[in-house]
Amino acid sequence: MILAITFIFLVIFIRFFYIQVVQGGKLVMRATDQWNREIPVVATRGKITDANGQVLAGNTLSYSVFVRPNAVVNAEYSATVIAAALNLDAGEVLEKISSGKVSEITIARQVSKEKIEKLASYDIAGVYYAKDNTRVYSYGDALCQVLGFTANDGTGLSGIEKYYENVLCGVNGEISFTTDIVGVQTEDSRILYTEATGGNEVRLTVDIDVQLAAEEAIKAVYLSSGAKRASCIVLDPRDFGVLALVNYPSYDLNDVPREDMQTLNALTRNCVVSDIYEPGSTFKVVTAAADLEEYLKGNKSAFSPEYIFNGSRTRTVDGTKIKCWSDHANGKHSNQTLAQALNNSCNPCFTDIALALGRDTFYDYLSAFGLGNVTGIDFSGEALGMLVPETLVRDCDLARIGFGQTIAVTGLQLACAVAAAINGGNYYVPHLLKSVISHDGKEVEVNPVTLKRKVISEQASAMLAGMLEGVVAEGSGKKAFIQGYKVGGKTGTAQKYEDGHIAQGKYVSSFVGFFPADAPKYLALIIVDEPQGTYYGSAVAAPVAKEIFEDIIKIKDIKPFE
C-alpha cells in the first residue's frame, strides 16, 4: 500500500511539474488570451517602383471595421447604422452580428476616412476600427499584367504583387485590451499597442517612360490592324533587365474586373512570358548565329559569310517542299550570301544551314540559346516552349526549324536568344527586380546580374549584328530604319495552326530590333497576333519598333552617330 500510494503521488507530482513548469508559460498565455481581445494593425504594403524610383503601386490610407457580437447592445439598430454608413446590405450585416459563431467579425475593409468618421459619430458599442491600406496604381492599365493586383485583404494575387508577396507584405501589429467573460471591454482595461512593420519596396528594372512609350505604340497597332492581341518586350541586352513589357488589350489595375473570371483570366495573362507561338523568320537570327560561330571554329560544314547560296526557290526534304516567300522572278533572291539571305528572309538558305550543321550541333545551339526551356525570369507562369525531342527530329523537321517553323517559343525566350546573339554572345537570366528598399529607405538587396552561359563568340556576334543592321538599312526591315542611328533587326511572318492544320488567313507578324547595332543598349520584340489585311511583319511590326526606338531616343536624349 505504501508503494502504491508513493507511486500515485509520484504520478501526480510529475503531472503538476509538467503543467506548472513545462507548459506553464503556454497555459498562462492561453488564460490571459481569454481575457484579451486584439484589433489588427495592418502593415503598410511596400511600394513597387520603376528603375528611377517612380511609384507604380502605392497605398492610400483606409480603415477596416470590426464588430464583436457579444459587445453589441442592439443588433438591429447597429446593423442599420453600419449598413447606412458603409453602403452595405443591412440584412447581411445583421446576420453576421447575430451569428454568434465567432468573437470578432470583419464587416468591411478599405473603408474611406469619411465613412469611418460618419460611423464613429454614432458611437455604437462593439464596433471597432483599425488602419488599413488601399492599393493604388499610379498609371492605371500600364504594366498591368506585370504588376498584378491584390485581394481585398491586401495579399498579392498575381504578377509582381504575388511573386514578391513576402517582400511587400510587412508584419501586422495589434491593439490589445482586456474584456470581461463575454467579451465586453472593461472600464479599467489595459490597452497594449504593437506597432506594425511596413513592407519593403520592390524596385523594378522597368523604366516607366519607356513603358508608356511602348504602351502607346502597341495600343495604336492593335487598333489600326484589327489584331486579336499585340505585345512587346523591351530588354537591355547588356544584362537582360526588362525595360518595358506590354500586352494589349489590357485592364485598369484600379478597377479590376473581379466579377467576370473569364475576362479577368484573359486580360491578366502575361502572354510574352506564358504563351508560345511559331516565331517564323525572326528565328533565323539564331540559325545565322550558329552558322557563323561554327564557321569561326573551323567547322567545314558551316557556310562562310562569303559563301553564295544558289538561287533555287524550292528545297525538297523527306518529301516536304520548302519554298521561299518570293517567286524569284527577274533573278530576285538568286545567288545570295548569308547577309543577303537575312535581308531577303529566304527560307531555303536557312534550311541549308540547319541541315549542314546537323542535328547534334544545331540542337546544341538551340539548347544554348534557351529554346525548349524556361529563362528563369522572376515571374510566375513562364512557359517552356515546344521543341521536337532531339531523338525524334527528322531532317524535314530540322530544315523547318532552321527558318522558325516546327518550333514554338515565348516572346521572352526569343528576345533573350536574339539579345545573346548580338550582345557579344552572353546569355543572362532575364529579370524584373532591380533592388529591394527597406520601409525606412535603405537598400537591403541588389538583384545580381547572372550570366548563364556564353553562346557564341564576340566575333561571331559582331558579324551577325552588322548583317542585321543591313536588314534594316536595305532589307525587309526598312520600316524600322532611323536616319542617323544604327538599328539592326529581323522581320517575321508566321502562319498559325489550329487543330494541327494551317489556319487560313491567320498570321503572327513580328519584328525584333536593337540599337545601337554596334553596341546594343535596347532590344525590342514586337508581336502582333492575327492582324487583319496586311499581315507581313515588315509592314505591321517593324514600324512599331521604329516608333518605340524614336521615343527612347527622345526620352534618353541619345545623339545620332557622326
The catalytic residues are 281
Of residues 64, 71, 32, the one with CA closest to residue 176: 32
Q: Find how far residue 159's CA is from the centre of its chain.
A: 6
Torsion angle of C-alpha atoms 66, 67, 68, 69, degrees rounded to 10: -150
Cis peptide leading into residue 516 (ω within 30°): yes
Task: Report the alpha-carbon distance of residue 12 to residue 186 in Å, rounded.
Answer: 37
Whose grid coordinates read 517612380? Answer: 54
Whose grid coordinates read 489550329? Answer: 498
Contact 338, 284 (CB under 8 A): no
Residues contacting 235, CB < 8 A, separation 6+: 241, 242, 243, 415, 416, 419, 430, 522, 523, 524, 525
Q: Which amino acid is at 120?
A: A
Residues contacting 140, CB < 8 A, separation 6+: 252, 253, 254
Task: Report the alpha-carbon distance of residue 86 to residue 510 in Å, rounded.
Answer: 50
- Give just the sign of the alpha carbon dihedral 151, 157, 158, 162: positive
Q: What is the C-alpha radius of gyration for the chain, rounded to an integer number of angstroms?
A: 32
Specify whether the backbone of 433 is left (phi greater than 0), alpha (psi in -120 to 50) or beta.
beta
Contact 476, 538 (CB under 8 A): yes
Contact 472, 488 (CB under 8 A): yes
Write out the three cell numbers for 343: 535581308
